[in-house]
Structure 1
Amino acid sequence: MVPLKRRKVSWTGGASTSDSRDDASKFPQVVLFLLERKMGTSRRIFLTELGRKKGFRVDEVFTENVTHVISEKNSGDEVRGWLSSQGHGSTPAHLVDISWLTESLSAGCPAHILQRHRLTERQTSSRDEAAAFSMPVYACQRRTTLDHRNAVFTEALSLLAENAELSEDGGRAVAFRRAAATLKAFPEQVTDARQLRGCPCLGRHSLGVIQDILENGTSREVEATRRSERFQALKLLTGIFGVGTKTAAQWFREGIRNLPQLLQSGCALNGAQRAGVAHYDDLTQDVTKAEADVVGRIVEEAVGAELPGARVVLVGGFRRGKPSGHDVDFLITHPQEGREEGLIPKVVARLEARDFLLYHKSSRNSYAEANVAPARPARPARPASSMDHFERCLSIWKVPTPEPHSHRDDAAPRRGECRRWRAARVDLVVCPFSQFAFALLGWTGSKLFERELRRWAAHRKDMSLSSHALYDNKQREFLPAATEEEIFAHLALEYVPPSERNA
């Protein structure tokens, strides 16, 4: 309670001095009263003003007209005790927690009162609060499905992570990604930041964003970032196939903000970038699972014709169950070690002959050159980094579509002409059979799940994990694995299926 000399209104009842009247409220049947006890004056004033902006009637003093008494960190006994001390021994008003108000403000209308909103009869002391929620620290220890209950928070944190990546602030980007991953795995809808006590990877900055959304329905920082000219320009420019953050940042410093300005600038573009600009509209649209399956059948036919018995697996987000993605990735191997070498040029030639490729760039397997030579030639070299060195082809395809597809890219004889294909990114990766389990794990993702696996391996098990191998630094030996399950077992982790790796 604040000193009387600072008060502008009476708190003991009587006529309200509130400037919120029935005719100024969207919901005249709902009258709110915010209890200052434990909430504090400044927070109460802020929430009062915010409630009125959202169309709620918020009275400064308690009267018989009040329908909802809102408090923070109080029990039902404590609120009734306060009301009794002010001469209001009993009231039909609902006694609800602050979480009801934040949900109502977010929804823009009075929320339905659930049991979790009602005040408990006993309020534990601050030293004896409910036990903190227990969640494993590493994302690779958790099961994260595509569906979760906290999209409003994860989307906000992911946007801040993306902005940090565009600013080449890797540390901050990873921090936001880990915070978002924690919320994706959280089993309940977050309506109060106190629910997150004990959850890992939620720093002060991330918690501030969450609290802002809980109180205001949105984060001012996130919205300012979303609207900023720099974020919009860099997001557009890095959306061009073949353009990274450094190149986009340089173009931004030169005053380039969009594709017309880029084309008028006279900047020299490499082959990948020219293809990216030409097919920008198509490449910035997600590829559907149905389209990925069409590509898969074509790839399997081409690979099978060149290397009978080869195995082709759709990886990436599609293997995790996503209905769409920004590209399509295939992992190719053969049970007979060595038969897969030099496969990419043959497959590419076959695809070119069928006019499927709009652009492609191939590279051979460079793993041996990139690492220390192994003690035994039959084993792969020790992983030097998270980057892999498989034989691959990065390409832009003409993906057949069942219906005529309108487009605006430079591949058409006439602008606006319809054709029965769309441009899409497709990556073909070839790996030796002995490394297939590691490649399958690495190329399935998600990116953060894989990062956390490597971090777990290094910090908890003193091992080095990559998409090529798992090396035990203590025993100074490679640990073979024929399946993903065996890799998890080597790492002393419970196996997590692909559909639950969406961290």
Structure 2
Amino acid sequence: MKRTRTSTLSFSESEDSDGSTRSSFKRHKYSEPDTESDDIGGFPIKVFVVQAKVSPEEISELISMVEKQKNMRMLELCSIPAEADVIVTGIQMKKRLERHIPWQLARRRAIVNPQWIRDSVEKEQIMPCGDYAALQELHAETAHNCPNPKGCDECRGTSGPDAEVAPSSLSHKARYACQRASPLVCANQSLAEEIDILRRARELEGDAVGTLAYERAVAVIKAYPHVISPSRLESDLARISGIGTKLQVKIAEYLKKGQISEAREILASPRFRSLSEFNTIYGIGPVTARQLYDNGMSTLEHLDSYYGIRAHNPAIEEQADPNIIESRWLSIKGMPEVTIQVGLALRRDLSQKIPREEVCDMHAIVMKGLESLQHGCVSTIVGGYRRGKEESNDVDIVISHQDWRGGGEKIKGLCTKLVKHLYDEGLVTHVMHLSSFRPHNALRTGHWDSLEKALTIFRLPEADGKSRIHRRLDLIFASPEAYWTAVTGWTGSRMFERDLRLWAKDEKGYKFDSTGITRRHDSRLFYPKSEQEVFEILGLEWVDPTLRNTGV
């Protein structure tokens, strides 16, 4: 996992005096994009040592080597596997490793043998993790997740180029989610998922208060760094804001039975299953889902009949043809708009998760098309991808221009031009939403920002003569001065962003959204030149994007 304390828009490789290639990031001021300065590495790298199958003498040796690093502290030992960049082990079998580390976590870390520490310290450089993979079946993942890969960090690492090590001052007991470290896979992941079922049920039934309460509870559990036991529940977790008496009873039930009876009853409920299915279709929110169910519909096939969609044969590509499916058209743009009918016909495609490699392919094609329209644009893939998810529901890309002074004018109207270009190339097939920039309004109370954006359905070009499936692609254009607040605002998770706004309002007297930071008493605007500066202006400790996973 790439971690660095620099602020940047691009990844670069530089050559050391000995001729070797060193991966690094260019530190520069956003307002001076052509000015280069010193490169800086992303140290220290956190290392967790699995003590099983490693002798006490060897453990002492490894600890001593890490503590006696000569010129710089490249490595730092940590005590929690989920916080480590690299996991060192002598275990060579999956079943044995799973006794100490969840397999899902192992696939997201570099899992190396002890020799990696020895060679990295001796040679004073991070050695390629793939050469020291402890488990053969994790060789590809270990090479992929190495904290010092040679190549594109945007497509290989789990963090964005502006990520850094989460400071130790982050506390799981903090009131706001934006003050806590919430890993993708936490120490109590299965409990968080069980409680999230309760949240989903409240959300589908329109219980806003209950939804928020359980969402906050999930966020607290995601940040809790220890495996919850009855003693910890009583002595520690119960005292944290967001874990009330009723929830404590449910957690106690889970600790005793391995499940929560209410959650099991919800999953078995025909109404819950129907509402959940309906809610996966674009254009059908919880309110519409309840209306459809109350009108006697319980399956997607019922919706097909209600909305006039043909049966799922022939193939999805034929069903998606605008000539077959009734679809409104954006009269000005000349592109088909997504309706509930289109969402139903494309549901098999849109329900499939998008792997990280395909996210990178989509990003590369979008930026190639953008370069043909406007030179000098920069971008960051945000959303779940930036938070480290192996698979995404959709792809979100924030785009700006590297020219701080004139970039705002250069990207005006570029969103529409890009979508039209991608549509003409047969890549964008439908548009859900297309908007232009609106003036910043410090009095606006809603959180739907005024950036230029396009929410689309995208399909990669054919590969080996086979059609690719449809994917959700959101393009967000921000002026250079709003680029980093846009990146922050679109990275998520939902509770992290909610509490970021709440912290800004209640603790600092500011208003935060994706278009900037406004001081409420005089409407002064702050335009940070890095994501770290976003946190600094708000008076918050930096939280790595991979530690903003407040949901399951």
Same fold at TM > 0.5: yes
Contact 2:438 2:451 in 1 (8 A): yes
**Largest Rg, 1 or 2:** 1
| Residue pair 2:458, 2:470 contacting (<8 A) in 1 also | yes
Per-residue deviation, residues 36-94 of structure 1 (Å, max 9, x unmatched): xxxxxxxxxxxxxxxxxxxxxxxxxxxxxxxxxxxxxxxxxxxxxxxxxxxxxxxxxxx
Identify the match of residue 393 of structure 1 among 454, 457, 462: 454
TM-score (norm 2): 0.60
Scaled by the length of structure 1, the TM-score of the pair is 0.66
Q: Which residue of 1 aligns with 2:427?
A: 356
Other structure's SS at 1:443 match: helix
Pick the aligned partner of 1:317 from 353, 365, 384.
Answer: 384
Distance 2:525 2:451 in 1: 19
Q: Give the whole-Å Cα distance in 2 for the aligned partners of 1:182 and 1:208.
A: 16
Is 2:491 aligned against 1:444? yes
Alpha-carbon contact 2:238-2:244 (below 8 Å) kept: no
Question: Structure 1 segments of 4 or more deviating over 4 A?
Answer: 266-270, 400-404
Structure 2 match to 1:295: 362
C-alpha distance in 1, partners of 2:418/2:537? 35
Matched, 1:256 2:297: yes
- Report the equivalent of 1:468: 515
Q: 2:543 aligns with which of 471, 490, 496?
A: 496
Q: Which amino acid letter does the alignment assign opposite residue 139 of structure 1? A: A
Give the drift of 1:383. Answer: 4.9
Match for residue 245 of structure 1?
A: 286
CA distance in structure 1 between the aligned counterparts of 2:238 and 2:261, rounded to whole angstroms? 23
Write the mapping of 1:214-293 to structure 2, written as runs, cut at 5 A.
214-266=255-307, 271-293=338-360
Return the alpha-carbon distance in structure 2 between the equivalents of residues 235 and 383 of structure 1. Answer: 32
Are the counterparts in 2 of residues 431 and 439 from structure 1 also a CA contact under 8 Å?
A: yes
- Letter of the 2:502 partner, please give it: R
Check conservation: 2:172, 2:225, Cα contact below 8 A.
no
Number of aligned residues: 348
Deviation string 1:454-490 (CA, Å, 9 cap, x unpaired) is 1111111121111112111234422231222112111
> Which residue of structure 2 lines up, in the alignment, with residue 30 of structure 1?
none
Aligned mates of 1:495, 1:483 — CA distance in 2: 12
Give CA-to-partner distance per residue, 1:126-162, whole Å, 9 cap, x none. xxxxxxx971111111111112110121001111111
Structure with more relative contact order (C-alpha pairs < 8 Å, separation 6 or more): 2
Q: 1:238 to 1:274 in 2, by over 3 A?
A: same
* 1:375 match: none
For structure 2, the residue ranges without an aligned partner over 5 or more in a row are: 1-98, 100-170, 310-325, 328-337
Distance 1:426 1:476, change over 3 A: closer
1:397-456 superposed Cα distances (whole Å, 9 cap, x missing partner): 21357578xxxxxxxxxxxxxx33011111111111111111110001111101011111
- In structure 2, the partner of 1:457 is 504
Which of 345, 357, 361 lines up with 2:416 in the alignment? 345
Corresponding residue for residue 249 of structure 2: 208
Alignment of 1:22-171 (within 5 A): 135-171=173-209
State how far apart, in whole Å, the 1-side matches of 2:305 and 2:463 are: 36
Matched residues in 2 for 1:135 and 1:266: separation? Answer: 49
**Aligned residues of 1:383 and 1:469 also touching (Cα < 8 A):** no
Contact kept in structure 1, 2:172 and 2:180, CA below 8 Å:
no
TM-superposed CA distance for 1:272, in Å, is: 2.4
The Cα of 1:365 is off from its aligned counterpart by 2.4
SS at match of 1:291: helix
Deviation at 1:386, TM superposition (A): 1.9
In the other structure, the counterpart of 1:189 is: 227
Secondary structure in 1 matching 2:239: coil
What's the offset of the Cα at 1:364? 2.5
The answer on whether the counterparts of 1:360 and 1:393 sit within 8 Å (CA) in structure 2 is: yes
- State, as a whole percentage, how many aligned pairs show the same letter: 28
Q: Distance in 2 between matches of 1:400 and 1:469?
A: 36
Q: Which moved further from structure 2: 437-446 or 267-276?
A: 267-276
Q: Whole-Å Cα distance in 2 between the matches of residues 163 and 267 of structure 1?
A: 29
Q: Could you tell me how far apart the structure 1 residues matched to 2:509 and 2:185 are? A: 33
Aligned 8 A contact 1:138 1:452 in 2: yes
In structure 1, what is the Cα distance between the partners aligned to 2:204 and 2:345? 23
